[in-house]
Amino acid sequence: MDWGEKNDDKRFLVVDTDTMEVESIPTTGYKKHIELDISDSNKQETLEAAKEAQEQGHYVKIVKRENVDLGDTDFMVVDKTEKDITNRGITSSMSQSDKFRRFLEIKEIPEDDQERYLNKALELVDRCEG
């Protein structure tokens, strides 16, 4: 059982081979993989459902398809919001250093790490050009 079986209820099927009748018996007591889509309009109900499922011992994943402020949360959150990457603010007239800086911002590299990344990128470009 994994995320490929998310939101599926497990059950046993008992088939009477004489009458071909099928009885469905739900199983209980196992950890479910529960994926919930969240939006501004269902935020409160979704967080409550996620909390309840987590308290019951289930694995919970929240999927954002739009910008929703979740603040601090203990849930696994998957951000599937659409992002416009066509206009990244990088132009051919920019210096190599400025292009790399903008790229690091786009990739949301922490400011404390940006100088180290920038120096390594410029070093690699110098090696390739030399």
Q: Can you tell me the mean pLDDT for 46-73?
A: 92
Please return the burial class of 27, using the count of CB atoms within 10 Å of its CB with bins 0-12, 13-18 and 19+.
exposed
pLDDT at 88: 74
Share of the chain above pLDDT 70, in %: 95
Kindly tell me the sign of the dihedral angle through the C-alpha atoms of 46, 7, 54, 108: negative
Question: Which has more pLDDT, 86 or 91?
Answer: 91
- Residues 89-118 have pLDDT tens digits of 888 888 889 989 998 988 888 999 999 999
Q: What pTM did the predictor assign?
A: 0.56
Measured between alpha carbons, how far is 39 from 24 in angstroms, rounded to an integer? 34
pLDDT at 14: 96
The residue extents of the domains of the chain are: 3-79, 96-129
Query: Do 64 and 77 meet the contact criterion of CB atoms below 8 Å apart?
Result: yes
pLDDT at 84: 65
pLDDT at 87: 66
Measured between alpha carbons, how far is 36 from 22 in angstroms, rounded to an integer? 31
Amino acid in the structure at residue 104: L
pLDDT at 19: 95
Least confident of 53-67, 79-93, 94-108: 79-93
* Confidence band of 20 (pLDDT split at 50, 70, 90): very high
Short-list 80, 10, 55, CA closest to 47? 55
Q: What is the rounded average pLDDT for all residues in the chain?
A: 89
Strand 21-26 to 11-16 pairing: antiparallel
* Other CB atoms within 10 Å distance of the CB of residue 118: 17
